[in-house]
Structure 1
């Protein structure tokens, strides 16, 4: 199944923010609280609470970042 191209910016924001939140939250949890038998539960909870912030942030900020990078690169 293909998604129409008009949804690409939203899909980009969703995928990028989900990957970013997953990696960063796992790293921060491991550093601050260690990895134990409850790690997976805490990690999923952390992702579920931070992704709703990360998704709109990435979606709103990404076009600005693309324009900025285009201006400062050759």
Structure 2
């Protein structure tokens, strides 16, 4: 696979998790913004809905993402 040293796996995890989170949150947030007359209220409502939806998704996806970050990285040799 990739040759990223395992000591950077937390960065790989963060990139994958933030990508998934922002993908879903942006999709949810874009629906109210289509016909928005009051940006701040729509943003706040979208953020609250996105947060409520993302909490269980992140909790369920985190172990898989953690495993994927281990697969995408390698142990460093002591050379």
Gaps of 5+ in 2: 1-6, 69-79
Q: Which has the higher contact order (CA 8 A, sep 6+)?
A: 2
1:36 maps to what in 2?
37
Counting matched residue pairs gives: 59
1:20-39 deviations in whole A, cap 9, x for unaligned?
A: 132111123346xx313121
Q: Tell me if the contact between 1:25 and 1:47 (Cα under 8 Å) persists in the aligned partners.
A: yes
Equivalents in 1 of 2:43, 2:14: separation in Å? Answer: 26
The structure with the greater share of residues assigned to helix is 1
Once the 2 structures are TM-superposed, how far is the Cα of residue 11 of structure 1 from its aligned partner?
Answer: 0.9
What TM-score, normalized to structure 1? 0.51
What TM-score, normalized to structure 2? 0.49
Could you say which structure has the larger radius of gyration?
2
- The aligned runs of 1:8-27 (5 Å cut-off) are 8-27=11-30
The structure with the greater share of residues assigned to strand is 2
